[in-house]
Structure 1
């Protein structure tokens, strides 16, 4: 059998009816505004982002820097890497204090004390031994006789100095000595006279007729210590500093005289061996003893 198919339907939609246009009011004229001038060109977004990043970085680094500075200033110098003070050889002396004066007694260099007399106990004006020192039993900070003092000089000078001390108005002599672990021997003598006139006369006698002092026992003629500065001493005192020049032989000696009013001080450092004595602890000892007398 033959299947019959229906004819295709017409799928074309009828065209919509066309409506007439609706009349509209004309647009209002633009408002009159002041001319703002040419607009500034806007930076590219890439530049803005870079500026913001660097600003934030600067603020962060500034905060870190301020914190670091605050941390360093609150730390001890020895706690900061690279700023720690290296050991320069100074000895560990105890804190120094001047002894009390008798009631109504003036200081040695006050205007009312024309003789420049130290009214404090002379033994209390001796520099104490530093930490680690072995104290000399003969020079323990007490009184000594003139023979012990003149024994620091050669045999040819002892009799002259001893006689001068007997003829002068020497009141008494105090001394202290010690030995450090490195072998350095230290001795300090304080000779007190009735007035600055007598101490000055003996000070001159220590030099004899020469510009250099009498050599100490076992030493050659000394030379001036060029590393010493005159401003290192206390006010109103005079210090002359010497050392035995190279080659110093089996022992090197450094010594100094201090004239402080009615008192003459002798400070000695000696050490056997080629290394000799160290400059820093000798100057430190001399400065501190000088300050106690000034």
Structure 2
């Protein structure tokens, strides 16, 4: 058998003078052609797609020709139901209103506010009763964005109580109730407020945990001193119970202790 020979190269065009060359100019070699790599890659891609489609079709055909196999039994036993409903004397009785937290929260929210101490005077900066949502949002840095955020959380209504004691101490308590939904708006609001507290322009620390609550915190702010003014002391409490967020503010020209804000927060938590 004769040995294989390499295929003949394709004939190349003769070299000629380049554009604008005069008589006697040296001939310019013709440019080489690039191999048709793109066409080869395209053929390989088409072949891969056809192979994938063909393999999938064969797999479906093989599975369709097989006999069905029964699934293994479930581990959960069958649910049993009583043949007859329970008699009236054995049915569980509904909780009384005093023990049903949901019933209490659906009533007059203002009745859940902690009672004012004896001898308390009216707060010159805040009043009692219902606080409109628009006014609540207006107290934030960005009222429009805060109102949109509160509506997204499902804010429902706000009850507040405020009073003044001593020479310059003022107290304000707010119960911010949210609608039931996929998440707890009260928890989201309290968490967002607590995120601000460690900043230097706020409490400057993590605060103290509130006894009896899951995530409640107490914050005593650093004293503010300005020439020509009395010292300003400030403390806050943030916690929630169910769909109600609670925020408490105490301001005074004298020092406010953690015990002062903590005892008031504990009494409000017991009311909920």
**Shorter-chain TM-score range:** 0.5 to 0.7
Q: Distance in 2 between matches of 1:247 and 1:254?
A: 12
Q: Distance in 2 between matches of 1:102 and 1:278?
A: 39
Which residue in 2 is equivalent to 1:292?
Answer: 271
Q: How does 1:249-264 map to 2 (within 5 A)?
A: 250-264=231-245
Match 1:134 to one of 101, 109, 121: 121
Change (3 A) 1:263 1:188: same
Change (3 A) 1:180 1:104: closer
**Contact 2:235 2:251 survives alignment (8 Å):** yes
Change (3 A) 1:127 1:152: farther
Q: How does 1:141-180 map to 2 (within 5 A)?
A: 141-150=128-137, 152-153=139-140, 156-180=141-165
TM-score after normalising by structure 1: 0.50
Which residue in 2 is equivalent to 1:107?
Answer: 100
Which residue in 2 is equivalent to 1:82?
Answer: none
**Contact 1:222 1:243 survives alignment (8 Å):** yes
Q: How does 1:1-294 map to 2 (within 5 A)?
A: 107-108=100-101, 118-136=105-123, 139-150=126-137, 152-153=139-140, 156-195=141-180, 197-207=184-194, 211-213=195-197, 220-224=201-205, 228-230=208-210, 232-234=211-213, 237-246=214-223, 250-272=231-253, 275-293=254-272
Q: Distance in 2 between matches of 1:271 and 1:201?
A: 29
Tell me the CA shift for residue 140 of structure 1. 4.4
**Contact 2:218 2:258 survives alignment (8 Å):** no
**Contact 1:143 1:173 survives alignment (8 Å):** yes
Change (3 A) 1:148 1:181: farther
- 1:156-182 CA-to-partner distances (Å, cap 9, x unmatched) read 344432221133321100001011023
- Secondary structure of the structure 2 residue equivalent to 1:222: coil
Q: Distance in 2 between matches of 1:182 and 1:279?
A: 20
Tell me the CA shift for residue 132 of structure 1. 1.6
Change (3 A) 1:172 1:133: same
5+ residue gaps, structure 1, are: 1-100
Tell me: higher relative CO, structure 1 or 2? Use CA pairs within 8 A at least 6 residues apart: 1
TM-score after normalising by structure 2: 0.53
Change (3 A) 1:161 1:276: farther
**Contact 1:118 1:261 survives alignment (8 Å):** no
Tell me the CA shift for residue 247 of structure 1. 5.1
Q: CA RMSD in A?
A: 3.4
- 1:171-225 CA-to-partner distances (Å, cap 9, x unmatched) read 1000010110231110011110112622223333435xxx43498xxx9221347
Q: Distance in 1 between matches of 2:108 and 2:198?
A: 29
Q: Distance in 1 between matches of 2:193 and 2:142?
A: 9
**Contact 1:223 1:243 survives alignment (8 Å):** no
Q: Distance in 1 between matches of 2:114 and 2:122?
A: 12
Q: Distance in 2 between matches of 1:240 and 1:268?
A: 13
Larger radius of gyration: 1
